[in-house]
Every structure is written in C-alpha cells, then in structure tokens.
Chains A and B, each alone.
Chain A
Amino acid sequence: MAVVTLERISKRYPGGDELAVDDVTFTVDDGEFMVLLGPSGCGKSTTLRMVAGLEAVSSGTLAIDGVVMNSVPARDRDIAMVFQSYALYPHMTARDNMAFGLKRRRMPAAERERRVAEVAEMLDLTPYLGRKPHALSGGQRQRVALGRAIVRDPKVFLFDEPLSNLDAALRVSTRNELIKLHQRLGATMIYVTHDQVEAMTMGTRICIMNRGRLVQVGPPLGVYRDPADTFVARFLGNPPMNLMEAAMLDGPTVRVGEATMPLPSRVDPSRLPRTGGRVTFGIRPEDLYEQPPADIAERTAPLPVRVTGIEPLGAETLLLVVPDNTEQEIIARVDRNSTARPGDRVVLGLDTASAHLFDADSGVTLDRH
C-alpha cells in the first residue's frame, strides 16, 4: 500500500504554449480512493499518466511512499493501470493478458496460474479465460482489464475513465463492483473521470481540475456543498447550481432581481465588496422550494418568479423560472406533485443557509472555510 504525493507538478508538451498541467499539488493517502474530476482537456488524464510514468514530469516532484519517482520508468513504479479502451493485447487470451505482467516479473508458472485463477474467480471470468478479447463482450473485456491490474497486486491502482465505454446499465453495476473491490483490497487508487456521478459515488475524496489547474480537493459532499468557485459550483450537480448576478446592499443584505435577502449565513463578511458592489449569488435547484418545509421556513427568503417551463421527471419536477426583474432563467427542483404551469407567477422560498456568494470577477467563493 502506498501514499502518492504530487508537489507542484507541471507538464508542458513539446511545442505547446500552455501548460497541460499547471502547478498541481495533492496527496493521495494510503488506501484512499481519489477521483480526479474535470471536463475534457483539463489535465486530469495527463496527471494520471505522469503518476503512471507514461508522461515525463516537466517540473515538480512526484513521490510514491516518499520515494521520488520523477525519473523512474513506468515498469519500476509498481503501479497498475486500467485504460479507457481496456488496452487488452488482441493476440493473447484473457488468461495470457492477465498473466502478462506476472511473466515479466519472473513469477513461477504455478504461482502465476494460481493468482490468475483466483482473480478470475473473483471477477466471474473463469469460463472466459481461454478466449481472446475479440470474443468477449464489453463488460467482460473491462473485467479482464481490471483483473490484469489486480493480479499484479500493485502499490497503486490507476484508472483512466474505465467505465466510459460501457452502456448505462453496465456502468452502474461495474461502478458498484469497483467500490466493493476498493473496500476489499483497501488499495490506494486514483481514478480519472469526467462523470460527476462516478466521482460523487466512488471517491473517498475528489480532486477537481480545470484548465490544467487544481481547483478543489475534498470529500464529495464537502465539495458539493462548499464549492471553491463558480466553476466547481456549475460542474458538480445536475442540474448545476444557479448563479445569478446580485448587488450588495446596506445591512448588509444582497439583492437578486427584485428580492432583497439577508446575507447567506456561511458568507465571510470580511471578504465582501462594499455596498453597491457586484457579487455572484449561487443557489442549488434543490434549495428552492414551492412550499418550504416547516423546519427551514424561518430561514427562507421569498423569491418572486415567473414560470417559463416545467420538466416533470417522475420522482421530482424541475421548474424553469425567471426571477422578477431579471432576464436569467434558473432551475428549481420541486415536489413531483407541483401544479405550476408555464406563465404562472409564483413565489419560491430560497434557503438562505444553503446559498453562496462568489466574487463577481474571479468567481472565487466568498464563503467561510
């Protein structure tokens, strides 16, 4: 088991103007499941490939268990990686694919066979061991790729979007299998994805990246509840957090459209702009209520809106609304029995304890940490 430390890691590709990875620092603790999350091109896969030794580190220090790995070749890092494309060797059977890494390590044939059989049993692959990849289904290939990593018993597991080639149903079941696998093996794992559901459900912590930079690291719910900036606020959550232009008033209060409401309780008053200054007001769709529950009624502020659309999803209903005196459409996640119709004027209850303020220019949170 191992601790992976990235300290001020940067990556610049030859001939590239911008840094693909820019000054990234974080530590993955022993046995932790760290998810690197971000949109495509944010540098998460490059970061993973640097940990794997498949890309050279341009600057910074990469260490596994305190040993600097910058110039150690991939084969000597004792890591295993599962690729998005599975990367199974097409000319070998599932058994040989899984045993390939062990052969290189000169493991005796009997021991090799035993380990492959054991892992195949664990992953329900025993009947398919004699097949070549082209004769396996997508899910089976994915499990062979996983098995190839597990038999190695490496210090660190790396996953590069391993579920993105699976269909929706298989993705959910494989996701659960991976979570169980992590619990069983207790190994250090780094997992790259652009899928926030995977990140939220699998990660011990998630590390959000954007344009090569690390934006926020923390437990999934912590990051969801306290986004470090408007990028994270919009990236996590479906539908994303509503962000609206707002102005600071005396009191201090904040005005959104026609509604004037007290400052969100989590805001750090010392970081606020002066009266009249602009801020970005953030509220998640589930924190807007048609009928606020009694226990939070006293901390809600009224937000008069016009309904422009409804999306009944069965378990809940999404209301598309425009707050009075603004042009911006926002989304409220309300009860499935909502009777609102497009064109209705309603007053939503806004949970001020769950609202956020962000700097209007930089997008950085003004909340307390």
Chain B
Amino acid sequence: MRDTLSTRFLGRTVLLAILALYTCYSAGPFLWIASMSLRTTSEISANAYALPETLHWEKYIEAWTGSNYGTYFWNSTIVVVSAVLALTIIGAMAAHCLARYRFPGNRVVLFVIFSTLIFPPQITIISLFQSLVEYRLYDTLLGLTLVYIAIQLPLTVYILEGFFARIPQDLYDAAKVDGYSHWEIFWKITMPVGMPAIATTVILNFINLWNEFLYAVVLITDESNRTLPLGVQKFMGDQLEDIGMISTGLMIAIVPVIVVYAFFSEKLIQGMTAGAVK
C-alpha cells in the first residue's frame, strides 16, 4: 500500500515536472514577445531579454494607425470569419451526407476529399494563382476567402464525418418519425449534437487561416488587401528588422486567436475526448 502511494506520488511529480517544462517551453516565447511588444527596437538591441523599463503602450496605437494595422486586421477578420463560417456550414453538410446517407461511391468521395490533404500547398499554388487571375479574383479578399475555404475543407469534412458517423442512427430515425425533413434534421440534430466537433474545426480553421502566410503572400499584392501576417512581414525589411514593431504587431495578431480559443476550448476538449469514455 505504501509502495503504491509513494509510486503514485513519484509518478505525479514527474508528470507535473514535465508539464511545467512544457508550459515554459510554449509560454516562454509568448511572454518574451509580449515584453518586447512594449519596448522599442533600440531597447531590445541593447538587451534582448530585459524586462521593459518604460511600458511603451503608444507602440500599439502607432502600429494600429501608423502602420495600417487597422486595415490588415479588418481584412483578416473579413477573410477568416467568412471562410470559417462557410467551412463550418459546407463542411458540416458534406460530412452529414457522407456519414448518414448510403449511396454508391460514398467512401470514394470521402477518400478523394481526404487524399487532397497529402499535397503540400506549393503544388497547387501556381495553378490557383492562374485560376484566380482568370476569374478576376486575384488580389481580392473574395479570392483569398475562396482559396482558404478550399484548402481547409478536406480536414474539416474529415474531422466532422468521423464525429457525425458516431451519432446514433436512432436519433435521426426518431426525428424522422417526429416529422422532420432531412434539411431540418441537419440543423436541429446534427449541428447541435455535433457541436464539440464543430467547435474543434472552428478553432483549427480559425488559427490556421488567421496565421496563414503562403497563399496570402502569393495571392495578395495591394496594400489595402493585405492580411495581418503580411502586415507583420512589412516590418521585416531587407536592411532593417524592426523587432519592436514586429512584436507589437504579433501581439495584436494573437489576441483574436486567444479569444476564439477561450470561447470554444471547452467544446474543443469535449470534441477531442468524445467517444473516449464510452
């Protein structure tokens, strides 16, 4: 009994130590950037790891107004929110069909959708560029939104299909007997019951797209259409890197991600552990 207790205590200690190390590893850079975001570049050059002596909150105002961050932020918000909204609805509908309806080629369709995940983005980017130019969507927020929907859809469908397939068929049958159509069943049963998985995809898509750089840098050129990651890049000149402003810009960029995560994280954890208990 004593051995068991001491073994358990030791086990917990090791586990806590690992978690503490991991927290430092992941939170450290964040705190460092946060501290640099309140210091000027010359202060940082003098001592990169020092804590701020004076808190330069004005840098946030400068970044927002002087460096056009307001526009980038707004552009990112429009593109990402629209894309995530469309992804959630289209992805959930596709996943609902693939999970619930038996039709010839059902698994083939899922496999084809899923197989596109294995291609690195560099493979498709040239053809996407060409397509957008031809459809006059190059260098537009709409074009970028459509591309974002396309690149994130396979993962969204894959995650949601796996979850929806585990919702008991009896629920759907009960709703049918209760008088509901397929369309109503999707909205009144699949969507609310599948909320943990939907929250998972919302967070994943939001974070991925909010931070997305490669497609944005290729498909957007106009200053007024830039998204946040491109805005941050602007501070990285060939000759000079304005580390202080980059940090401030990064902090502005991170806030929405934290807000979205805080809002959906409980559902996310439910989604990740769904089915693990039963």
A86, B173: Cα distance in complex, Å: 11
Q: Please give the distance in Å from A11's CB to the nearest CB on chain B.
A: 15
Do B177 and A81 touch across chains, with their CB atoms under 8 A apart? yes
A sample of 14 more A-B contacts (CB under 8 A), given A84-B170, A104-B180, is: A49-B173, A53-B176, A54-B177, A74-B173, A74-B176, A75-B176, A81-B174, A83-B174, A86-B170, A87-B171, A88-B174, A89-B171, A101-B178, A104-B184
Q: Please give the distance in Å from A242's CB to the nearest CB on chain B.
A: 40
- Quick one: CB contact mask for A76-90 with B, threshold 8 Å, 1 for yes? 000111011111111
Residues of A near any B CB (own CB < 8 A): 14, 49, 52-54, 73-75, 79-81, 83-91, 100-101, 104-105, 148, 152
Give chain B interface residues in 189-241, CB to chain A under 8 Å.
189, 192-193, 195
Q: At the interface, is chain B mostly helix, strand, loop or mixed?
A: helix
**In the complex, the 7 A-B pairs of residues with the closest C-beta atoms, listed nearest first:** A87-B170, A101-B178, A87-B174, A104-B179, A75-B179, A91-B192, A74-B176
A-B contact list, 26 entries, CB within 8 Å? A53-B176, A53-B177, A54-B173, A54-B176, A75-B180, A75-B181, A83-B170, A83-B173, A85-B168, A85-B170, A86-B170, A87-B168, A87-B170, A87-B173, A87-B174, A89-B174, A89-B175, A89-B189, A90-B171, A91-B193, A91-B195, A101-B179, A104-B178, A104-B180, A148-B174, A152-B178
In the complex formed, the residue of A with least CB distance to B171 is A87
A156, B189: Cα distance in complex, Å: 24
Q: At the interface, is chain A mostly helix, strand, loop or mixed?
A: loop
A54, B171: Cα distance in complex, Å: 12
Q: Please give the distance in Å from A260's CB to the nearest CB on chain B.
A: 56
In the complex formed, the residue of A with least CB distance to B170 is A87
Do A74 and B177 touch across chains, with their CB atoms under 8 A apart? yes
Residues of B within 8 A of A85 (CB): 168, 170
Residues of B within 8 A of A84 (CB): 170
Residues of B within 8 A of A49 (CB): 173
Residues of A within 8 A of B176 (CB): 53-54, 73-75
Do A90 and B177 touch across chains, with their CB atoms under 8 A apart? no
- Quick one: CB contact mask for B64-105 with A, threshold 8 Å, 1 for yes? 000000000000000000000000000000000000001000
Q: Chain B CB within 10 Å — which of A54, A79, A86, A152 has the most?
A: A54
Known contacts A87-B171, A91-B192; decide if A105 and B179 are in contact (CB<8 Å). Answer: yes
A52, B170: Cα distance in complex, Å: 12
Known contacts A85-B170, A91-B192; decide if A80 and B179 are in contact (CB<8 Å). Answer: no
Q: Please give the distance in Å from B267's CB to the nearest CB on chain A.
A: 12
Give the residue of A14, A80, A86, A91 whose beta carbon is less than 8 angstroms from that of B177.
Answer: A80
Do B180 and A90 touch across chains, with their CB atoms under 8 A apart? no
Q: Please give the distance in Å from A24's CB to the nearest CB on chain B.
A: 21
Residues of B within 8 A of A104 (CB): 178-180, 184
Residues of A within 8 A of B193 (CB): 89-91
Q: Please give the distance in Å from B214's CB to the nearest CB on chain A.
A: 38
In the complex formed, the residue of A with least CB distance to B174 is A87
Q: Please give the distance in Å from B194's CB to the nearest CB on chain A.
A: 10
A152, B174: Cα distance in complex, Å: 13
Q: Please give the distance in Å from B180's CB to the nearest CB on chain A.
A: 6
Give the residue of A81, A100, A148 whose beta carbon is less than 8 angstroms from that of B173.
Answer: A81
In the complex formed, the residue of A with least CB distance to B173 is A54
In the complex formed, the residue of B with least CB distance to A145 is B174
Residues of B within 8 A of A54 (CB): 173, 176-177
Residues of B within 8 A of A100 (CB): 175, 178
Q: Please give the distance in Å from A188's CB to the nearest CB on chain B.
A: 15
Residues of A within 8 A of B180 (CB): 75, 104
Q: Please give the distance in Å from B255's CB to the nearest CB on chain A.
A: 31
In the complex formed, the residue of B with least CB distance to A160 is B170
In the complex formed, the residue of A with least CB distance to B102 is A14
Q: Please give the distance in Å from B183's CB to the nearest CB on chain A.
A: 12
